[in-house]
Amino acid sequence: MDPVSALGYAAAACTTLSFLPQVVRTLRTRDTSGISLWMYLLFCIGVALWLAYGIARADAPIVVANLVTLGLASAVLALKARGDARPRRRPGSTHGQT
């Protein structure tokens, strides 16, 4: 692998992996109350455009990074858009029960 591609893959790994903890937390808790629907929608569109750009330029680091990021961000966006994202109740909570 040439040094420029290695640099691209390193950058792609850092930016994609930095996004992972938030995605994992959101999928575990299903709590999207602090997430903006419009932000995630625009983010997914931007990532999709970067993916198209990477494909058009045949730039593997851009394609790989944006393909993975689009999958992760789309999962969070789907939860937010469906409105299914509700915080889990704490054990022993009687909220809503009589």
pLDDT, the chain, mean: 85
The per-residue pLDDT for range 33-43, each reduced to its tens digit, is: 888 899 999 99
pLDDT at residue 59, as a whole number: 92
Q: How far apart are CA 98 and CA 94, in angstroms?
A: 8
Q: For residue 77, give both structure tokens.
A: 């966006």
Tell me the C-alpha to C-alpha distance, in Å, between residue 32 and each of 26, 66, 70: 6, 22, 17
Output the pTM of the full model.
Answer: 0.74
Angle at 5 between CA 58 and CA 22, to 5 degrees: 90
pLDDT of residue 85: 43
Domains of the chain: 3-82 (1.20.1280.290)
pLDDT digits (tens, 9 = 90+) for 11-47: 989 988 888 888 898 889 888 888 889 999 999 999 9
Tell me the average pLDDT across 71-79.
90
